[in-house]
Amino acid sequence: MKGRFIVFEGIDGAGKSTQIEKLRQKLVNEGRRVFITAEPTASVTGGILRDALSGNYARTASELAAMFLSDRVFHNVNPNTGIKQALEKGFDVVSDRYYYSSFAYQGLDSDINWVIDMNLNCPDIRKPDLCIFLDLDADKSKERIDTNRATVEIFEHSSLLDKIRRKFFDVFSMLKDENIEIIDASGTVDEVALKIAAAVDKLPKEE
Ligand code: TYD
């Protein structure tokens, strides 16, 4: 049995971590094995990215796009922690962010077509079976960030979050061959989890 590759996207504060955990429980209850992963990864490049995201070291959008690309190749092919090996072992892989984030976040200040092309044309970057976009307006996201976090990252400001949210929608209208489900994330945790479960249930169980 081959696993399914599911990606969660959304602006910061949309509730990805909570919903990823809910989906993990649902899939495990159905007897599936689940591998949870995230970007940036624990690679060396991932560390440099986290430093840039915290605002410690300023990077241009193109530098960030190139580093996220490199980190994403690592994320796919690493023989111990990578997406490819987990899918081949039959795990459902659930990733907190993937290339859609590069398109929306780096697409704002770099060349979006360049960012899209280098990701979609890279032979070692796999296309997800499903992208779940948790949609929450920027003010509500910012409220959640301020309640839940001690430190604020470079993108976590309300006006910027609104621009990024709109960029995600531009990106989705440009991508014709991707399976993207936009889910209203303003309800309760259980309401949102039910909608996600319905989207995941549409995926084939075996490949
Ligand atoms: P996030 O999921 O918010 O991690 P955490 O909540 O643990 O800090 O991701 C970190 C940030 O990285 C987020 O602001 C979005 C940004 N990002 C990009 O700008 N480009 C990308 O390609 C990815 C994967 C993330």
Q: What is the per-residue pLDDT across 86-138, written as a single tens digit (0 to 9) for each?
A: 999 999 999 999 999 999 999 999 999 999 999 999 999 999 999 999 999 99
Under DSSP, is residue 36 helix (H, G, I), strand (E, B) or coil? strand
Taking CA atoms only, the protein residue closest to ligand 1 atom 15 is: 101
81 CB contacts (<8 Å, ≥6 apart)?
37, 41, 42
Pocket of ligand 1 (CB under 6 A): 12, 39, 53, 68, 96-97, 101-102, 105-106, 153, 155
Question: Which residue has a Cα nearest atom 8 of ligand 1?
Answer: 153
Is 197 a residue whose pLDDT tops 70?
A: yes
Mean pLDDT within 75-81: 98
What pLDDT score does 185 carry? Answer: 97
Distance 154 CA to ligand 1 centre (A): 10
Q: Which of the 8 DSSP states describes residue 6?
A: E
pLDDT over 60 at 156, yes or no: yes
Q: What is the mean pLDDT of the chain?
A: 95
pLDDT at 206: 67
For the record, the structure tokens of 184 come out as 């209203």
Q: Give the pLDDT mean for 64-72.
A: 98
